[in-house]
Amino acid sequence: MHDTAISLIELGAVFFGLGLLGRLAWKIGISPIPLYLLGGLAFGSGGLIPLHGIDEFASLAGEIGVILLLLLLGLEYSANELVTGMRRAWLAGLLDLVLNALPGAAVALLLGWGPVGAIAMAGVTYISSSGIIAKVLGDLGRLGNRETPVVLSILVFEDLAMAVYLPILTALLAGATLMGGLTAVGVSLIVITIVLVIALKFGRYVSMLVDSPEPEVFLLRVLGAALLVAGVASQLQVSAAVGAFLLGIAISGSTAENATKLLEPLRDLFAAMFFVVFGLNTNPTTIPPVLGWAVALAFVTTLTKVATGWFAARQQGIGRMGRARAGAALVARGEFSIVIAGLAVAAGAVEDELAALATAYVLLMAVLGPVAARVVEPVARGLQRKLQPRPA
């Protein structure tokens, strides 16, 4: 009973502390992700006050957080939107992949982390944070801007790329052979294809299966379906997160809208625990040696994301100011980068320093992204005025 009491006290303190950190983050206008990571660092191994009574719950809660993050991301898109987005943004998406994955892979190889570490770090630096970007665009009133569909198309391409990337990474982390890795990718592609076909042709039946007029029953059905699909996907060597994402795509219409409203508080709660768990498992003393690399990666990948957004918006005939806004909007990294690093470190197939580098990098980018999106317009207008020729 004493152990239970200690666990409850520690868990209550963590939840209350997260609430304070979240309030502080929104008050100063940044994503709460960096503060959640810092909270985890403060109370993990090597931190100020290590907590040991909530390890099992925190780990499971973190897994559920990843599943809910990806489920709600899938609920934002229909299968038709995914297909349309792919057609519209495939060239810019490929440019995004090359420009932003290479810096992470190069740093991992320079640090001697090998091919698996390079593939993991490539994913960390490649994927933008859909959650942070959506929040920033909404806060700045840019959801109706001409460049916003371009930004969303790039995010859709990244999400689909993750559906292929995560099974490959999972197979490599498990020490699978080349044939095993190819099998995992093949299974993943088959599952993705089946789900997209089901979503396109029979999405309404999937929605009907989980829908209910009673909120309690609806919540139980959606959450239960998400955990079931995630578990089955994991058994098939497809990432549990990808399974949840594909389920979200299959649910459409008013059912998806209602599910999003109902699940958002749960997602925020469990996602916060996921970031805390990642911080808990990262020794803060390992961050200073890789901080310089994190700053270098932040600088380079900010420029490459801006270039990606500029190119994608230019393809759609959008003006320079819109191109600049599109590029700045894509800068933020967050939840998916930590998911990738968490998978790599948990498997024990990469150096522990990868977690430290990913944490420092996401801390920088989760703050830099919203700031870049806010200041890009006044900065761009100031540059325009300076470059305009003065009257004689």
Rounded to whole angstroms, the Cα distance separating 362 from 37 reads 9
| 55-114 pLDDT tens trace | 677 778 878 887 887 788 778 766 666 666 667 778 888 999 999 999 999 999 999 888
Mean pLDDT of the chain: 80
Residue pLDDT, tens place only, 251-276: 877 888 888 888 888 888 887 887 78
292's CB contacts (< 8 A; 6+ apart) are none
pLDDT of residue 233 exceeding 70, the answer is yes
Residue at 298 is within a domain? yes
pLDDT beyond 90 at 215: no
Residue 41 forms part of a structural domain: no
Question: How many domains does the chain divide into?
Answer: 1
Alpha-carbon separation of residue 347 from 60, 171, 340, 351, 383 (angstroms): 16, 10, 11, 10, 48
Cβ-based neighbours of 246, under 8 Å, separated by 6 or more: 74, 163, 191, 192, 195, 196, 229, 233
| CA-closest candidate to residue 204, choices 252, 259, 254, 260 | 252
Whole-angstrom Cα distance, residue 355 to residue 340? 10
- Tell me the percentage of the chain whose pLDDT exceeds 90: 16
Residue type, 328: A
Question: With 90 as the cut, is the pLDDT of residue 320 above it?
Answer: no
Domain range for 234 is: 60-382
Residue 12 is inside which H or E element, if any?
Answer: helix 2-28
Please indicate, yes or no, if residue 332 is contained in any of the structural domains.
Answer: yes
pLDDT mean over 336-361:
80
Question: CATH number for the domain including 121?
Answer: 1.20.1530.20
pLDDT of residue 1: 46
* Minimum mean pLDDT range among 133-142, 251-260, 380-389: 380-389
Alpha-carbon span 205 to 210, nearest angstrom:
9
Instruction: Extract the tokens encoding 340.
Output: 């990738």
Q: Is residue 40 part of a domain?
A: no
Q: Which of 366, 336, 357, 362 is nearest to 161 (CA)?
A: 336
- Residue 124 CB contacts under 8 Å (≥ 6 apart), including other chains: 104, 333, 337, 340, 341, 358, 361, 362
Per-residue model confidence (pLDDT) at position 45: 63
Q: Is residue 34 part of a domain?
A: no
The phi, psi pair for 48, rounded to 5°, reads -70, -50
Please state, in angstroms and rounded to a whole number, the distance separating the CA atoms of residues 69 and 334. 11
